């Protein structure tokens, strides 16, 4: 668990907790970062050389950056170089400090990328990929095509690949320290090598009485509802896909089950997140189908008055599955529940059903009330 950051079980006998401790351990230190440091300067110099002559360099960051404790070092390298960076799906928001907002290009995941991002990666003459894991969803179903691997440097937990040269057993922490000390801002960096961020005018929705649709709803959510330091929990399904490419406010974090894509994950995950971070607002976006899997956890929100706003995307079934296969098949239908009464019956207050654009805009103040402990629960119908 400590060295590979893979899931593991810790079994503790139930009577152990009652046993008296005879010895007190003052300090436990785990040396999880190991590996060879003898190649660090050789590898580091080659990375710096390639980065400094590139005209379209991109740093591409993945979730192992966090798991292996490299995030601060990488942030410092980005700040020192002012380099542009993209992230994998699982790496969304791993670097989201206010000073880095302009440097962030977006999500890259092969064909799952938004317009422009895949092209940027394909045209880059120096990709420095750090801590990205190759899983099905995270790699856009393994569609990361058209990238020039000779121009790619890949840092994994114990290895570095530069073009066709492969080093195994490298101490990546030491390598990042070396880079931070020696790397300089890239002078050739082509400033046009970027993606323009679009800001929508939400005023136009004030009088729009049309039913909400997926295409526009998530733009409004990202721009008007998600605030600095919020924790956004997105369920697998249209919530995840809708929020994935949205730029979130600085310091906002993004939680989703991208590795296994198991539906039913997000509600209990939001509960855990809110307990772990009581001073931050948690926004949960979950489809009706996924909600029905672990719905009883809503009760914990009410019992512990957790700082969670729940948005139920009520679209009568497995919408994302309809898009993949069988738009009209009954296996994508689910029973329609009375979600507002359900929530009220277990003690969630301030419930509201929102069907139209103008209703969403009219209720933005209510949704964004400072103290959310009044247990807000919104049905996006
Ligand atoms: C445990 C589990 N069962 C089935 C699936 C397949 N699956 C992926 S998304 C999805 C539908 C999600 O529907 P809903 O929560 O209503 O979200 P929507 O896409 O409609 O917004 C299903 C069934 C899965 N990923 N995990």
Q: Which of 289, 292, 293, 337 best tests ligand 1's pocket when mutated (most atoms within 8 Å of CB)?
A: 289
Question: In the chain, what percentage of residues exceed pLDDT 70?
Answer: 95
Number of residues in the chain? 381
| Ligand 1 atom closest to the CA of 291, numbered from 1 | 15
User: How far from chain centre, in Å, is Cα 227?
Assistant: 15
Q: What is the mean pLDDT of the chain?
A: 90
Ligand 1 geometric centre to CA of 333 (Å):
11
Q: Which of 233, 243, 290, 330 best tests ligand 1's pocket when mutated (most atoms within 8 Å of CB)?
A: 290
Ligand 1 surroundings by CB, under 6 angstroms = 235-239, 261-264, 287-290, 313, 315, 318-321
The answer, yes or no, to whether residue 223 has pLDDT greater than 90, is yes
> pTM of the full predicted structure?
0.91
Strand partners, 161: 154, 166
CA atoms within 13 A on the CB side of 109: 23
| Ligand 1 atom closest to the CA of 288, numbered from 1 | 16
CA dihedral angle for residue 336, residue 340, residue 343, residue 344, rounded to 10 degrees: -140
pLDDT tens digits, one per residue of 296-316: 999 999 999 999 999 999 988
Q: Which residue has the tokens 């509960």?
A: 271
Distance between CA atoms of residues 199 and 220, nearest Å:
10
The answer, yes or no, to whether residue 167 has pLDDT greater than 70, is yes
Ligand 1 geometric centre to CA of 163 (Å):
39
pLDDT tens digits, one per residue of 240-292: 999 999 999 999 999 999 999 999 999 999 999 999 999 999 999 999 999 99
Q: Which of 137, 213, 236, 333 best tests ligand 1's pocket when mutated (most atoms within 8 Å of CB)?
A: 236
Ligand 1 geometric centre to CA of 321 (Å):
7
Strand partners, 313: 287, 380
Q: What domains sit in the chain, N to C, each tagged with a CATH number?
A: 40-182 (3.40.50.1220), 202-379 (3.40.50.970)
Structure confidence at residue 75 (pLDDT): 98
pLDDT tens digits, one per residue of 50-74: 999 999 999 999 999 999 999 999 9
* CA proximity to 274, closest of 226, 231, 312: 231
Distance between CA atoms of residues 108 and 200, nearest Å:
22
Cα-based distances in Å from 210 to 45, 57, 111, 217, 225: 58, 43, 31, 11, 20
Which residues does 73 contact at the CB level (< 8 Å), separation at least 6? 173, 176, 177, 180
Tell me what the mean pLDDT of segment 169-182 comes to: 96
């Amino acid at each position: 668990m400590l060295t590979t950051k893979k899931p593991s079980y810790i079994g503790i006998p139930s009577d152990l907790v009652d046993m008296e401790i005879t010895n007190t351990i003052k300090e436990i230190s785990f040396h999880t970062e190991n590996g060879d440091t003898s190649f660090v300067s050789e590898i580091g110099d080659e990375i710096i050389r390639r980065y400094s002559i590139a005209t379209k360099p991109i740093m591409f960051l993945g979730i192992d950056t966090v798991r292996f404790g490299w995030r601060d070092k990488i942030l410092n390298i980005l700040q020192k170089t002012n380099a542009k960076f993209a992230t994998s799906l699982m790496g969304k928001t791993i670097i989201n400090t206010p000073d880095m907002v302009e440097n962030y290009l977006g999500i890259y995941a092969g064909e799952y990328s938004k317009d422009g991002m895949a092209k940027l990666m394909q045209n880059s003459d120096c990709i420095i990929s750090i801590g990205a894991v190759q899983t099905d969803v995270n790699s856009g179903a393994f569609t990361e095509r058209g990238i020039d691997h000779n121009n790619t440097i890949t840092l994994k937990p114990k290895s570095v690949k530069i073009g066709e040269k492969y080093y195994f057993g490298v101490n990546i922490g030491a390598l990042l320290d070396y880079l931070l000390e020696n790397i300089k801002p890239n002078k050739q960096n082509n400033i046009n090598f970027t993606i323009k961020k679009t800001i929508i005018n939400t005023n136009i929705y004030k009088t729009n009485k049309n039913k909400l649709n997926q295409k526009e709803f998530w733009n409004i959510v990202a721009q008007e509802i998600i605030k600095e330091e919020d924790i956004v929990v997105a369920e697998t399904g249209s919530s995840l896909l809708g929020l994935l490419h949205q730029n979130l406010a600085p310091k906002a974090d993004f939680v989703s089950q991208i590795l296994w894509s198991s539906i039913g994950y997000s509600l209990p995950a939001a509960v855990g997140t809110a307990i772990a971070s009581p001073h931050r607002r948690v926004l949960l976006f979950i489809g009706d189908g996924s909600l029905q899997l672990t719905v009883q956890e809503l009760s914990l929100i009410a019992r512990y008055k957790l700082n969670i706003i729940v948005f139920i995307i009520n679209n009568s079934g497995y919408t994302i599955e309809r898009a993949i296969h069988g738009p009209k098949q009954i296996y994508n239908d689910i029973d329609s529940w009375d979600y507002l009464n359900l929530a009220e019956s277990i003690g969630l207050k301030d419930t509201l059903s929102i069907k139209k654009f103008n209703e969403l805009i009219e209720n933005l103040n209510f949704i964004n009330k400072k103290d959310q402990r009044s247990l807000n629960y919104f049905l996006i119908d």
